[in-house]
Amino acid sequence: MGRIHKDFALNLKFNSKSQFRKQRVLAPCQGEMMALFTCWSLHNYDESACRAAYLALQSCSRTAAALPRTHKATTNYHLAQLARQAGK
């Protein structure tokens, strides 16, 4: 990659708030995990009483592992690389 003019890189600004809003994404099996922890707490950590919650978490984990992962935007990484090259 060629050298970038300093003025260009310093004036380059990315406003992530206007383009991408961060949405709170829950973990795929967070509800099932909390149900298991709550069950353990209520039943004094008796595994036999919380078997259904355990099986629900286990099946959720299996299905979540099969889901495809989403691609993260690399805009900030590339802007940092441009700024680093401009500083040289």
Residue carrying structure tokens 């935007």:
73
**51 within a domain of the structure (yes/no):** yes
**21 within a domain of the structure (yes/no):** no
The count of structural domains within the chain is: 1
pLDDT of residue 85: 85
Residue carrying structure tokens 């802007």:
79
Q: What is the C-alpha separation between 12 and 18, in angstroms, rounded?
A: 15
**22 within a domain of the structure (yes/no):** no
Tens of pLDDT, residue by residue over 39-79, are 999 999 888 999 999 999 999 988 887 777 777 778 888 88
CA 20 to chain centre: 15
Percentage of residues of the chain with pLDDT beyond 90: 28
* The pTM of the whole model exceeds 0.75: no
How many CB atoms neighbour CB 34 within 10 A?
Answer: 12
